[in-house]
Amino acid sequence: MKFFADTAEIDDIKELAATGLLDGVTTNPSLIHKSGRDFMEVTKEICGITDGPVSAEVVALDHETMMREAEVLRKIADNVCIKVPLTIDGLKTCKALTGDGTMVNVTLCFSANQALLAAKAGASFISPFVGRHDDNGFDGMDLIEDIRLIYDNYMFETEILVASVRHVTHVLESAKIGADVMTAPPKVIKALFNHTLTDKGIDAFMADWAKTGQKIV
Ligand code: E4P
């Protein structure tokens, strides 16, 4: 499963990229607002940190303007992935862009039928929002299971990008279901490394090693 960072914070992206485990980045208008940075500048900077797809979202709601925005965004770098909302105009835009080889991430997916439509429109990625689904009284992971089943039934190549990830259990469940990608805030990705028994084990080994009085280097 690929790991994308769901953020526009450069320091966090650099820190995660340095682990060698970062496969891409997703942003959205709220994350750009939170960063306080210029959209075009920060997107270009992120594209220079990772070779993987960097999702940059259109903000128009109609197909023609989405196409014009996508034209500007895809010139930022070769690894820009145009993010469009799951609407009729968004999917029309998805079909047109993927038809000429541009990567497209269809966002704000809350049903398996919507995911089916995105795959038919040739989406490179579909982004079901599990955390927001949970918040509204549904089980976000059920949605991922349904999409996996449907995509496998018809051998769609659209990658399932689990989004709105709130905690490490969302990551675990995504991997068990066989999602292709998950995007999470840096703090959730960093939490994946932690276990209290790992810390306890290191403390015990260090204490015993100190007692030997030896050095490796
Ligand atoms: C995905 O691409 C979105 O940017 C993101 O996962 C939304 O997450 P949120 O529900 O925590 O805002």
Q: Name the H helices within 38-181.
A: 39-49, 63-73, 88-99, 112-120, 130-135, 140-153, 168-177
How many Å apart are CA 98 and CA 92, to the nearest integer? 10
Of 66, 11, 31, whose CA–CA distance to 184 is shortest? Answer: 31
Q: The whole model's pTM is what?
A: 0.97
Q: Whose CA is nearest to atom 9 of ligand 1?
A: 164
Is 127 touching ligand 1 by the criterion CB < 6 Å? Answer: yes
How many Å apart are CA 29 and CA 48, to the nearest integer? 20
Q: What angle in degrees, to the nearest 10, is found between the helix axes of 63-73 and 88-99?
A: 40
Q: What is the whole-number distance in angstroms between the Cα of residue 213 and the centre of ligand 1?
A: 50
Q: Which amino acid is at 91?
A: L
Is 186 touching ligand 1 by the criterion CB < 6 Å? Answer: no
Active site residue 2: no
Q: Whose CA is nearest to atom 12 of ligand 1?
A: 164
Per-residue pLDDT of the chain (217 residues; tens, 9 = 90+): 999 999 999 999 999 999 999 999 999 999 999 999 999 999 999 999 999 999 999 999 999 999 999 999 999 999 999 999 999 999 999 999 999 999 999 999 999 999 999 999 999 999 999 999 999 999 999 999 999 999 999 999 999 999 999 999 999 999 999 999 999 999 999 999 999 999 999 999 999 999 999 999 9
How many Å apart are CA 125 and CA 115, to the nearest integer? 10
Is 129 touching ligand 1 by the criterion CB < 6 Å? Answer: yes
